[in-house]
Chains A and B, each alone.
Chain A
């Protein structure tokens, strides 16, 4: 234990399975807000079919691969350390850099969305908006620095607040709504591929985030067992949440006419979940649903502030980013400097129009996804006998065929979001090599043998640190 604290500085908490599931649910779903746009773009039938079948070739492969890699390399920084083990320092830096950069922008988006919901309801001034935004960020920064225990509790309370109104709406909506939710399958006059393309980008977004919890592995006891279990439970939970709530929303929209699904969108003026709740439950249910939407985005922020800070922390500990990012809190054992930096950037971003920055997101997330899938295959071939408490139940060649689908979808996603996303993404990708060249020359990096927080050696043996962790010393 002394060695563990000395060598890493992170405090490991005993995370219950239910809390880990809440983390997974928050990072990958947190309610169904945003699905409204898919319904009007792709048609109600295709939306429901995509909710059911897209996971088979997009999020389930990632959940399985993340489980296998997380059980094999259960280290702080998650995906960054997996890719280091499989593809070396250069590509792991690229993945860690792109992923972190993307989350700096992404997490600010969730605060901005929560503020948008509040502003639409209560109509406050720009100054008040900024104050509320900074207050939200400050509260969850403290909670995150205080530790995963408190973060887990906060997320649990938030998800209760998100799900109770959503479940009431779903049951009520399915019961009193009108029409066949699968009809029509496609918008009139649209081809199957054309309809799918319109909603695919949003749907991929809604089904992302399965790799995120892995970044917390350095602060959870037995992460190689807890995280895969949480991912396996979380996957059907997320699919069911999307499917039934969207089913209900389509039926509720149908009360005002069979074509009313065409008016479903977010951002004001359309039939979103709040408006649909108003239609069946009046002001009370609409108010509850509004609170659910606000909490959903706040929960996403709290979750991504936690996970987004960890790879940069580990990259700093591996001597690839400035030293201060590797600082840990002496009492609470959390990477406070990395969390604080991310929060400060978020606080600045929400006060400006950062829509141009959002355009880098798709590229910066899709490239690490591709690297994660490749890493899974490389490690299967190179280290077939390395210990994995979870193994995707299929031979390597079949796993290769399976992950070819999400890789293809990720590549397609790069081209379907429009010119601004393309340009932002192309420019964003090039920041990776530039950052590596700069930081590598300044900080040098660390040999594999001297890395901190390694639980298992490439030969499959426990490291000294691994013995301390596995031995239940915490």
Chain B
């Protein structure tokens, strides 16, 4: 499979991960669950609640997914970092209960991981490995120095 094909899969997975997060956030908003304390460094606002974090992080992930079509390494990194930040943020805001947390996060996490895997394969295809033995490379470096 070619690198671009892998990049496309990474992009699709990244966009789906973002949409899953946005969808989860919108569903959580309509269902009005208690989903994390809406606080960030002492500032209390609904925008810092788990619901809004899901939507905000989801939008970033969609952007990361779209970027992956052209630059899979950059795009997938955005997607994966966004999920990590969102997960830890929601948890640290008091959403300690296992079921609701995983209920909203499992799909974005899994899709982000898949995006990372495809982007990794794209990088493997697109970035040529060095075929020079390290010892030879170092010897050449020493000689040129």
Contact = CB atoms under 8 A, between A and B. Distances in A.
A438 B120 CA distance: 10
Contact size range, B: 35 or more
B134 A419 contact: no
Given A90-B124, A419-B91, A423-B101, A450 B116 contact: no
Contacts of A446: 129-131, 134
Contacts of B102: 422
Given A441-B73, A450-B133, A434 B121 contact: no
A7 interface: yes
6 contacts: A90-B121, A319-B134, A422-B102, A446-B129, A449-B131, A450-B133
Classify the interface of chain A: helix, strand, loop or mixed: helix
B98 A422 contact: yes
Contact of A441 (B109, B117, B123): B123
Contact of B130 (A90, A433, A450): A450
A426 B108 CA distance: 11
Given A419-B96, A419-B101, A433-B80, A447 B123 contact: no
Contacts of B88: 423, 427
B87 interface: yes
Contacts of A45: none
A434 B77 contact: yes
A326 B124 contact: no
Q: Which 5 A-B pairs give the minimum distances between C-beta atoms?
A: A433-B116, A437-B73, A445-B129, A419-B98, A427-B84
Nearest to A316: B134
B81 interface: yes
Interface string B40-55: 0000000000000000
Interface residues of A, number: 34
A418 interface: yes
Given A326-B134, A423-B87, A447-B129, A436 B120 contact: yes
Contacts of A431: 84
A432 B112 CA distance: 12
Contacts of A444: 127-130
Interface string A89-105: 11000000000000000
Given A430-B84, A430-B112, A450-B130, A419 B123 contact: no
Contacts of B128: 444
A445 B87 contact: no
Interface of A: 6-8, 88-90, 317, 319, 326, 418-420, 422-423, 426-427, 429-434, 436-438, 440-441, 444-447, 449-450, 452
A371 to B, nearest CB: 13
Contacts, number: 105
A65 B134 CA distance: 30
Contact of B135 (A90, A422, A447, A452): A452
A434 B127 contact: no
A440 B87 contact: no
A426 B121 CA distance: 21
Name, among B77, B98, B123, the residue most crowded by chain A CB atoms within 10 Å (CB to CB). Answer: B123
A313 to B, nearest CB: 12
Given A90-B121, A436-B116, A438-B77, 10 more contacts: A319-B134, A419-B101, A420-B91, A423-B87, A423-B88, A434-B80, A437-B116, A437-B119, A447-B129, A452-B134
Contact of A433 (B87, B96, B113, B131): B113
B133 A436 contact: no
A319 B130 contact: yes
Contacts of B87: 423, 426-427
Interface string B120-145: 11011001111111110000000000
A452 B105 CA distance: 41
A318 to B, nearest CB: 8
B123 A429 contact: no
Contacts of B96: 419-420
A440 B130 contact: no
A437 B67 CA distance: 14
A452 to B, nearest CB: 6
B42 to A, nearest CB: 21
Contacts of B19: none
B81 A434 contact: yes
Name, among B77, B83, B101, B129, the residue most crowded by chain A CB atoms within 10 Å (CB to CB). Answer: B129
Nearest to A423: B91
A319 B133 CA distance: 10
